[in-house]
Amino acid sequence: MTNFGFTEILIILLGIILVIAAVIDVRTFTISNRLNLFVALLAPLYWWSVSLPLWPDAPVQLAAAAIVFLLLAGAFHFGMMGGGDVKLAAALALWFSPPEILKFLVMMSIAGGVLTLGILAVHRLRSKEGRPKIPYGVAIACGAFVILTQRFLNQFA
């Protein structure tokens, strides 16, 4: 069954949204609720395009996204992530299978660690005091791109 490239269009659109989110986060250190809502609302269209069964798969996706939200809300509570970052990661979890979500979180964490170390180094080199802001949306986008790229490459394996 073909959907005439609709799935691919949705994935490309998601990629564009992630680039936009990362750029905005670098500039303003915020990710808007509208952007996060758009990512979340596109997920059911993606589910439909890949023929995801409504039962039990759709509730599993929702539960997995809720778990991601709750886990990362803890990071928000301790000042490690912003609220927009938490919501974006949870919205992206709607697009990934549970095993992909684990890979996404690992890749996001690795990218976040590298990003944080780089920003801390620049911050110290400039002899600035205080705690630098980290645009974690960049790390979230990197983690998502790893999963999307892996998914794309698996089509040809």
What's the pLDDT tens digit per position in 40-71?
A: 999 999 999 999 999 999 999 999 999 999 99
Sign of the torsion angle spanned by Cα atoms 94, 97, 102, 107? negative
* Nearest-10 Cα torsion for 44, 47, 53, 59: -50
CA 146 from centroid of its chain's CA atoms: 10
Task: Give the pTM.
Answer: 0.93
Q: What local confidence, expressed as pLDDT, does residue 128 receive? A: 79
Q: What percentage of the chain carries pLDDT values higher than 70? A: 98
Closest CA to 106 of 120, 91, 89, 119: 89
What's the pLDDT tens digit per position in 61-98?
A: 999 999 999 999 999 999 999 999 999 999 999 999 99
**Please, what is the Cα angle at 76 between 145 and 15, to 5 degrees?**
15
